Amino acid sequence: MSARTEAVNALFERSGEGPLAGIIIADFGRVLAAPYCTMLLADMGATVLKVESLEGDETRSWMPPVFDDASTYYMSINRNKHSIALDFRDEDDLEVARTLAARCDVFVENFKPGGLARFGLDYAAVNAVNPTVLYASITGYGTNGGADLPGYDLLVQGASGLMSLTGDTDTVPFRAGVAVFDVFTGLHACVAILAALQHRMKTGEGQLVELNLMSVALSSMVNQTGAYAIAGVTPRRLGNEHPSIYPYSPFPTSDGELILAIGNDNQFKTFAKLIGAPELPLDPRYVTNRDRSAHRDELRPVLEELMRAKTTTAWFEIFREAGLPSAPINDVAQGVQFAESLGLEPIVTVGHGNKTQPAVRNPVTFSRTPVTYDFVSPKLNESGDAIREWLTT
Protein backbone atom coordinates (compact mmCIF):
# COMPACT_ATOMS: atom_id res chain seq x y z
CA MET A 1 0.00 0.00 0.00
CA SER A 2 1.46 3.39 -1.02
CA ALA A 3 2.12 6.14 1.51
CA ARG A 4 -0.55 8.27 -0.18
CA THR A 5 -3.11 5.47 0.09
CA GLU A 6 -2.22 4.89 3.75
CA ALA A 7 -2.62 8.60 4.50
CA VAL A 8 -6.00 8.79 2.79
CA ASN A 9 -7.27 5.58 4.39
CA ALA A 10 -6.12 6.76 7.81
CA LEU A 11 -7.86 10.11 7.49
CA PHE A 12 -11.13 8.70 6.15
CA GLU A 13 -10.95 5.28 7.84
CA ARG A 14 -11.45 3.01 4.84
CA SER A 15 -11.27 -0.72 5.54
CA GLY A 16 -9.17 -2.95 3.33
CA GLU A 17 -7.74 -1.96 -0.02
CA GLY A 18 -10.18 -2.09 -2.90
CA PRO A 19 -9.03 -1.91 -6.51
CA LEU A 20 -9.34 1.91 -6.44
CA ALA A 21 -7.79 2.49 -3.02
CA GLY A 22 -5.85 5.75 -2.94
CA ILE A 23 -7.79 7.34 -5.79
CA ILE A 24 -9.26 10.68 -4.70
CA ILE A 25 -12.52 11.68 -6.39
CA ALA A 26 -13.91 15.19 -6.14
CA ASP A 27 -17.63 14.60 -6.56
CA PHE A 28 -19.31 17.81 -7.72
CA GLY A 29 -22.30 15.78 -8.92
CA ARG A 30 -25.93 16.15 -7.95
CA VAL A 31 -29.15 14.14 -8.04
CA LEU A 32 -28.57 10.75 -9.74
CA ALA A 33 -26.26 10.19 -12.75
CA ALA A 34 -23.02 11.51 -11.26
CA PRO A 35 -23.66 10.40 -7.66
CA TYR A 36 -24.49 6.86 -8.81
CA CYS A 37 -21.22 6.73 -10.74
CA THR A 38 -19.15 7.97 -7.81
CA MET A 39 -20.86 5.61 -5.37
CA LEU A 40 -19.83 2.63 -7.49
CA LEU A 41 -16.26 3.93 -7.54
CA ALA A 42 -16.40 4.49 -3.77
CA ASP A 43 -17.54 0.91 -3.24
CA MET A 44 -14.39 -0.15 -5.08
CA GLY A 45 -12.18 1.71 -2.62
CA ALA A 46 -11.94 5.22 -4.03
CA THR A 47 -12.15 8.09 -1.56
CA VAL A 48 -15.10 10.21 -2.71
CA LEU A 49 -15.35 13.74 -1.35
CA LYS A 50 -18.86 14.94 -2.09
CA VAL A 51 -19.15 18.70 -2.56
CA GLU A 52 -22.64 20.01 -1.79
CA SER A 53 -24.25 23.40 -1.60
CA LEU A 54 -25.15 24.75 1.81
CA GLU A 55 -28.70 23.42 1.19
CA GLY A 56 -27.35 20.01 0.20
CA ASP A 57 -27.98 17.71 -2.74
CA GLU A 58 -31.54 18.08 -4.03
CA THR A 59 -32.28 14.42 -3.33
CA ARG A 60 -31.90 15.00 0.40
CA SER A 61 -35.39 16.51 0.24
CA TRP A 62 -36.91 13.89 -2.08
CA MET A 63 -39.16 12.03 0.34
CA PRO A 64 -40.99 9.87 1.20
CA PRO A 65 -39.79 7.16 1.66
CA VAL A 66 -37.53 7.93 4.62
CA PHE A 67 -35.16 6.00 6.90
CA ASP A 68 -34.16 7.62 10.20
CA ASP A 69 -35.84 10.77 8.89
CA ALA A 70 -33.54 10.88 5.84
CA SER A 71 -34.43 10.44 2.17
CA THR A 72 -33.97 6.86 0.99
CA TYR A 73 -33.43 8.28 -2.51
CA TYR A 74 -30.36 10.16 -1.30
CA MET A 75 -29.16 7.21 0.79
CA SER A 76 -29.43 4.79 -2.13
CA ILE A 77 -26.72 6.57 -4.17
CA ASN A 78 -24.39 8.23 -1.64
CA ARG A 79 -22.92 5.59 0.64
CA ASN A 80 -19.15 5.42 1.19
CA LYS A 81 -18.78 9.19 0.64
CA HIS A 82 -17.70 12.19 2.70
CA SER A 83 -19.70 15.41 2.52
CA ILE A 84 -18.42 18.96 2.57
CA ALA A 85 -20.80 21.90 2.10
CA LEU A 86 -19.41 24.88 0.18
CA ASP A 87 -20.82 28.17 -1.04
CA PHE A 88 -18.98 29.08 -4.24
CA ARG A 89 -20.01 32.71 -3.75
CA ASP A 90 -17.84 32.77 -0.64
CA GLU A 91 -14.17 33.30 -1.55
CA ASP A 92 -12.88 31.04 1.23
CA ASP A 93 -15.24 28.22 0.28
CA LEU A 94 -14.41 28.65 -3.40
CA GLU A 95 -10.72 28.39 -2.59
CA VAL A 96 -11.42 25.09 -0.80
CA ALA A 97 -13.20 23.82 -3.91
CA ARG A 98 -10.31 24.88 -6.14
CA THR A 99 -7.75 23.28 -3.84
CA LEU A 100 -9.73 20.04 -3.90
CA ALA A 101 -9.86 20.20 -7.69
CA ALA A 102 -6.10 20.70 -7.79
CA ARG A 103 -5.40 17.68 -5.58
CA CYS A 104 -7.91 15.10 -6.78
CA ASP A 105 -7.33 12.30 -9.26
CA VAL A 106 -10.85 12.42 -10.69
CA PHE A 107 -13.25 15.36 -10.91
CA VAL A 108 -16.90 14.48 -11.60
CA GLU A 109 -19.61 17.07 -12.29
CA ASN A 110 -23.05 17.31 -13.86
CA PHE A 111 -23.71 21.04 -13.72
CA LYS A 112 -25.36 22.78 -16.65
CA PRO A 113 -22.86 23.31 -19.49
CA GLY A 114 -20.59 26.19 -18.54
CA GLY A 115 -21.99 26.33 -15.02
CA LEU A 116 -18.63 25.83 -13.32
CA ALA A 117 -16.61 28.07 -15.63
CA ARG A 118 -17.47 31.26 -13.76
CA PHE A 119 -15.99 29.71 -10.61
CA GLY A 120 -12.77 28.56 -12.26
CA LEU A 121 -13.80 24.93 -11.90
CA ASP A 122 -14.26 24.02 -15.56
CA TYR A 123 -11.93 21.54 -17.25
CA ALA A 124 -9.55 24.14 -18.67
CA ALA A 125 -9.08 25.81 -15.30
CA VAL A 126 -8.71 22.56 -13.34
CA ASN A 127 -6.40 21.02 -15.94
CA ALA A 128 -4.16 24.08 -15.78
CA VAL A 129 -3.34 23.40 -12.11
CA ASN A 130 -3.83 19.62 -12.19
CA PRO A 131 -2.64 18.34 -15.59
CA THR A 132 -3.12 14.67 -14.74
CA VAL A 133 -6.73 15.10 -13.62
CA LEU A 134 -9.48 12.96 -15.14
CA TYR A 135 -12.38 15.36 -15.52
CA ALA A 136 -15.73 13.68 -16.14
CA SER A 137 -18.53 16.00 -17.24
CA ILE A 138 -22.14 14.84 -17.57
CA THR A 139 -24.78 16.94 -19.35
CA GLY A 140 -28.29 16.38 -20.63
CA TYR A 141 -27.85 17.02 -24.33
CA GLY A 142 -24.17 17.83 -24.84
CA THR A 143 -22.42 21.18 -25.04
CA ASN A 144 -23.30 22.25 -28.56
CA GLY A 145 -26.86 22.72 -29.82
CA GLY A 146 -28.47 21.26 -26.71
CA ALA A 147 -26.45 23.11 -24.09
CA ASP A 148 -29.44 25.22 -23.06
CA LEU A 149 -31.80 22.27 -22.52
CA PRO A 150 -32.38 21.04 -18.93
CA GLY A 151 -31.16 17.46 -18.63
CA TYR A 152 -33.76 15.48 -16.71
CA ASP A 153 -34.16 11.76 -17.22
CA LEU A 154 -37.89 11.97 -17.93
CA LEU A 155 -37.33 14.57 -20.64
CA VAL A 156 -34.70 12.39 -22.28
CA GLN A 157 -36.94 9.34 -22.11
CA GLY A 158 -39.44 11.32 -24.16
CA ALA A 159 -37.02 13.05 -26.53
CA SER A 160 -34.98 9.93 -27.29
CA GLY A 161 -37.96 7.80 -28.32
CA LEU A 162 -37.94 5.41 -25.37
CA MET A 163 -41.42 6.41 -24.25
CA SER A 164 -42.76 5.67 -27.73
CA LEU A 165 -41.69 2.07 -27.11
CA THR A 166 -43.07 1.76 -23.58
CA GLY A 167 -46.67 0.76 -22.91
CA ASP A 168 -49.30 -1.29 -24.69
CA THR A 169 -50.05 -0.76 -28.36
CA ASP A 170 -53.32 1.00 -27.55
CA THR A 171 -52.11 3.19 -24.66
CA VAL A 172 -50.26 6.49 -24.47
CA PRO A 173 -46.46 6.36 -24.17
CA PHE A 174 -45.14 5.62 -20.67
CA ARG A 175 -41.90 6.40 -18.93
CA ALA A 176 -39.86 3.58 -17.45
CA GLY A 177 -40.42 3.04 -13.74
CA VAL A 178 -36.81 3.99 -12.97
CA ALA A 179 -34.68 6.90 -14.20
CA VAL A 180 -32.98 4.50 -16.59
CA PHE A 181 -30.89 6.99 -18.55
CA ASP A 182 -29.53 8.67 -15.42
CA VAL A 183 -28.46 5.22 -14.23
CA PHE A 184 -27.06 4.18 -17.61
CA THR A 185 -25.16 7.45 -17.86
CA GLY A 186 -23.70 6.86 -14.41
CA LEU A 187 -22.60 3.40 -15.49
CA HIS A 188 -21.08 4.70 -18.73
CA ALA A 189 -19.28 7.40 -16.76
CA CYS A 190 -17.89 4.77 -14.39
CA VAL A 191 -16.57 2.71 -17.30
CA ALA A 192 -15.09 5.79 -18.98
CA ILE A 193 -13.32 6.89 -15.80
CA LEU A 194 -11.81 3.44 -15.30
CA ALA A 195 -10.60 3.46 -18.92
CA ALA A 196 -9.12 6.93 -18.49
CA LEU A 197 -7.37 5.81 -15.29
CA GLN A 198 -5.82 2.95 -17.24
CA HIS A 199 -4.61 5.39 -19.90
CA ARG A 200 -3.16 7.68 -17.23
CA MET A 201 -1.38 4.77 -15.60
CA LYS A 202 0.34 3.99 -18.92
CA THR A 203 1.08 7.55 -20.05
CA GLY A 204 0.69 9.89 -17.09
CA GLU A 205 -1.84 11.90 -19.07
CA GLY A 206 -5.13 13.20 -17.75
CA GLN A 207 -8.07 14.01 -19.99
CA LEU A 208 -11.61 15.31 -20.30
CA VAL A 209 -14.36 12.68 -20.42
CA GLU A 210 -17.76 13.92 -21.60
CA LEU A 211 -21.11 12.15 -21.52
CA ASN A 212 -24.68 13.26 -22.09
CA LEU A 213 -27.96 11.57 -21.31
CA MET A 214 -29.27 11.85 -24.86
CA SER A 215 -26.34 10.04 -26.46
CA VAL A 216 -26.41 7.39 -23.72
CA ALA A 217 -30.14 6.95 -24.33
CA LEU A 218 -29.71 6.36 -28.05
CA SER A 219 -26.86 3.91 -27.42
CA SER A 220 -28.75 2.11 -24.65
CA MET A 221 -31.77 1.41 -26.84
CA VAL A 222 -29.42 -0.85 -28.85
CA ASN A 223 -31.51 -2.92 -31.29
CA GLN A 224 -34.32 -0.35 -31.37
CA THR A 225 -32.14 2.58 -32.41
CA GLY A 226 -30.06 0.15 -34.45
CA ALA A 227 -33.16 -0.77 -36.46
CA TYR A 228 -33.52 2.86 -37.49
CA ALA A 229 -29.82 3.58 -38.02
CA ILE A 230 -29.16 0.44 -40.06
CA ALA A 231 -32.41 -0.27 -41.86
CA GLY A 232 -34.42 2.94 -41.55
CA VAL A 233 -37.10 1.14 -39.53
CA THR A 234 -38.88 3.16 -36.84
CA PRO A 235 -39.80 0.71 -34.03
CA ARG A 236 -43.30 0.82 -32.59
CA ARG A 237 -44.78 0.12 -29.19
CA LEU A 238 -45.50 -3.57 -28.63
CA GLY A 239 -46.41 -3.69 -24.97
CA ASN A 240 -44.49 -6.54 -23.37
CA GLU A 241 -43.66 -8.26 -26.63
CA HIS A 242 -40.33 -8.25 -28.44
CA PRO A 243 -40.11 -7.02 -32.04
CA SER A 244 -37.78 -9.83 -33.14
CA ILE A 245 -38.41 -12.84 -30.87
CA TYR A 246 -41.52 -14.91 -30.15
CA PRO A 247 -42.72 -16.10 -27.67
CA TYR A 248 -40.95 -13.51 -25.54
CA SER A 249 -43.47 -11.89 -23.15
CA PRO A 250 -45.78 -12.63 -20.23
CA PHE A 251 -48.46 -15.29 -20.77
CA PRO A 252 -51.56 -15.91 -18.66
CA THR A 253 -51.62 -18.88 -16.31
CA SER A 254 -54.48 -20.21 -14.22
CA ASP A 255 -53.71 -17.73 -11.43
CA GLY A 256 -51.61 -14.95 -12.94
CA GLU A 257 -48.89 -14.50 -15.53
CA LEU A 258 -45.48 -15.97 -16.30
CA ILE A 259 -42.84 -14.43 -18.53
CA LEU A 260 -41.46 -16.63 -21.29
CA ALA A 261 -38.22 -15.85 -23.13
CA ILE A 262 -37.93 -18.51 -25.82
CA GLY A 263 -34.88 -17.31 -27.71
CA ASN A 264 -34.16 -20.07 -30.21
CA ASP A 265 -35.78 -22.93 -32.11
CA ASN A 266 -34.53 -25.73 -29.85
CA GLN A 267 -35.99 -23.98 -26.84
CA PHE A 268 -39.31 -23.71 -28.63
CA LYS A 269 -39.33 -27.46 -29.33
CA THR A 270 -38.75 -28.20 -25.66
CA PHE A 271 -41.35 -25.63 -24.63
CA ALA A 272 -43.96 -27.05 -27.00
CA LYS A 273 -43.41 -30.52 -25.64
CA LEU A 274 -43.72 -29.40 -22.02
CA ILE A 275 -47.01 -27.58 -22.61
CA GLY A 276 -48.46 -30.62 -24.38
CA ALA A 277 -48.23 -29.43 -28.00
CA PRO A 278 -45.20 -31.17 -29.55
CA GLU A 279 -46.71 -30.69 -33.00
CA LEU A 280 -46.33 -26.89 -32.96
CA PRO A 281 -42.67 -26.81 -34.14
CA LEU A 282 -43.69 -28.93 -37.14
CA ASP A 283 -46.18 -26.34 -38.33
CA PRO A 284 -44.57 -24.35 -41.19
CA ARG A 285 -45.76 -21.13 -39.53
CA TYR A 286 -43.78 -21.84 -36.36
CA VAL A 287 -40.63 -23.73 -37.43
CA THR A 288 -38.16 -20.87 -36.96
CA ASN A 289 -38.13 -17.80 -34.78
CA ARG A 290 -38.63 -15.66 -37.87
CA ASP A 291 -41.71 -17.71 -38.73
CA ARG A 292 -43.08 -17.43 -35.21
CA SER A 293 -42.53 -13.67 -35.12
CA ALA A 294 -44.33 -13.26 -38.43
CA HIS A 295 -47.30 -15.41 -37.28
CA ARG A 296 -47.46 -14.38 -33.63
CA ASP A 297 -51.11 -13.31 -33.90
CA GLU A 298 -52.03 -16.88 -34.83
CA LEU A 299 -49.71 -18.53 -32.31
CA ARG A 300 -50.56 -16.36 -29.34
CA PRO A 301 -54.11 -17.66 -28.61
CA VAL A 302 -52.88 -21.25 -28.90
CA LEU A 303 -50.16 -20.69 -26.31
CA GLU A 304 -52.43 -18.70 -24.03
CA GLU A 305 -54.97 -21.50 -23.88
CA LEU A 306 -52.32 -24.10 -23.11
CA MET A 307 -50.60 -21.95 -20.46
CA ARG A 308 -53.86 -21.45 -18.57
CA ALA A 309 -53.79 -25.14 -17.65
CA LYS A 310 -51.43 -24.65 -14.68
CA THR A 311 -50.51 -22.07 -12.07
CA THR A 312 -47.63 -19.64 -12.43
CA THR A 313 -45.60 -21.47 -9.79
CA ALA A 314 -46.22 -24.87 -11.38
CA TRP A 315 -45.13 -23.72 -14.84
CA PHE A 316 -42.10 -21.92 -13.44
CA GLU A 317 -40.88 -25.06 -11.69
CA ILE A 318 -41.48 -27.18 -14.80
CA PHE A 319 -39.60 -24.77 -17.05
CA ARG A 320 -36.85 -24.21 -14.51
CA GLU A 321 -36.19 -27.95 -14.28
CA ALA A 322 -35.99 -28.11 -18.07
CA GLY A 323 -33.68 -25.10 -18.27
CA LEU A 324 -36.19 -22.97 -20.17
CA PRO A 325 -36.06 -19.21 -19.59
CA SER A 326 -39.06 -17.99 -17.60
CA ALA A 327 -39.76 -15.73 -14.64
CA PRO A 328 -42.64 -14.57 -12.46
CA ILE A 329 -43.72 -10.93 -12.44
CA ASN A 330 -42.79 -9.74 -8.95
CA ASP A 331 -43.17 -6.46 -7.15
CA VAL A 332 -39.95 -4.94 -5.78
CA ALA A 333 -40.26 -6.66 -2.40
CA GLN A 334 -40.85 -10.00 -4.07
CA GLY A 335 -37.91 -9.31 -6.40
CA VAL A 336 -35.58 -8.85 -3.46
CA GLN A 337 -36.98 -11.95 -1.78
CA PHE A 338 -36.54 -13.93 -5.00
CA ALA A 339 -32.90 -12.87 -5.18
CA GLU A 340 -32.48 -13.94 -1.54
CA SER A 341 -33.94 -17.36 -2.36
CA LEU A 342 -31.23 -17.74 -5.00
CA GLY A 343 -28.46 -16.98 -2.52
CA LEU A 344 -27.60 -13.61 -4.10
CA GLU A 345 -27.72 -11.73 -0.77
CA PRO A 346 -29.10 -8.53 -2.34
CA ILE A 347 -29.22 -6.51 0.89
CA VAL A 348 -26.05 -5.54 2.74
CA THR A 349 -25.32 -3.57 5.89
CA VAL A 350 -23.42 -0.33 5.34
CA GLY A 351 -21.33 1.15 8.14
CA HIS A 352 -20.19 -0.14 11.51
CA GLY A 353 -21.25 -0.19 15.13
CA ASN A 354 -24.31 1.90 15.89
CA LYS A 355 -24.05 3.83 12.63
CA THR A 356 -25.41 1.47 10.01
CA GLN A 357 -28.04 1.31 7.30
CA PRO A 358 -29.30 -1.40 4.96
CA ALA A 359 -28.55 -0.96 1.26
CA VAL A 360 -28.64 -2.79 -2.05
CA ARG A 361 -25.49 -4.77 -2.78
CA ASN A 362 -23.00 -3.53 -5.37
CA PRO A 363 -23.51 -6.04 -8.21
CA VAL A 364 -19.77 -6.57 -8.85
CA THR A 365 -17.80 -9.29 -7.04
CA PHE A 366 -13.99 -9.24 -7.01
CA SER A 367 -12.09 -12.35 -5.96
CA ARG A 368 -9.06 -10.43 -4.66
CA THR A 369 -10.19 -6.86 -3.98
CA PRO A 370 -13.77 -6.99 -2.69
CA VAL A 371 -15.98 -3.95 -2.51
CA THR A 372 -16.57 -2.56 0.96
CA TYR A 373 -19.45 -0.80 2.66
CA ASP A 374 -17.67 1.36 5.21
CA PHE A 375 -19.82 4.46 5.49
CA VAL A 376 -23.51 5.22 5.56
CA SER A 377 -24.62 8.11 3.36
CA PRO A 378 -23.17 11.23 4.97
CA LYS A 379 -25.02 13.98 6.72
CA LEU A 380 -24.57 17.36 5.09
CA ASN A 381 -21.03 18.69 5.72
CA GLU A 382 -20.32 15.76 8.04
CA SER A 383 -16.69 15.55 6.89
CA GLY A 384 -16.18 19.24 6.18
CA ASP A 385 -13.52 19.68 8.86
CA ALA A 386 -11.67 16.48 7.93
CA ILE A 387 -11.57 17.41 4.25
CA ARG A 388 -10.30 20.90 5.02
CA GLU A 389 -7.63 19.37 7.26
CA TRP A 390 -6.53 17.00 4.50
CA LEU A 391 -6.33 19.85 2.00
CA THR A 392 -3.92 21.75 4.23
CA THR A 393 -1.52 18.84 4.81
Amino acid in position 295: H
Please give the angle made by the CA atoms of 106, 110 and 112, to the nearest 5 degrees: 135
Return the exposure string of 172-194: e unless at least 16 CB atoms fall within 10 Å of the residue's CB, then b. Answer: eeeeeeebbbbbbbbbbbbebbb
- CA 339, CA 320: separation in Å to the nearest integer? 15
Beta strands per DSSP E along 64-175:
66-67, 70-71, 81-85, 106-109, 134-139
Using DSSP, how many helices (H) and how many strands (E) does the chain show?
Answer: 15, 13
> For residue 265, what are the CA distances in angstroms to 247, 276, 303, 312, 318?
11, 17, 16, 23, 19
User: Which DSSP symbol is given to 376?
Assistant: P
182 an active-site residue?
yes
CB atoms within 10 A of CB 345: 9
For residue 349, list its beta bridge partners.
358
CB 130 within 8 A of CB 101: yes
- CA 83, CA 27: separation in Å to the nearest integer? 9
- CA 341, CA 267: separation in Å to the nearest integer? 25
- CA 66, CA 56: separation in Å to the nearest integer? 16
User: Which DSSP symbol is given to 256?
Assistant: S
CB 259 within 8 A of CB 327: yes
> For residue 356, what are the CA distances in angstroms to 67, 126, 350, 374?
11, 36, 5, 9
- CA 314, CA 333: separation in Å to the nearest integer? 21
Question: Which listed residue (182, 283, 297, 385) is catalytic?
Answer: 182
CB 296 within 8 A of CB 241: yes
Active site (catalytic) residues: 182
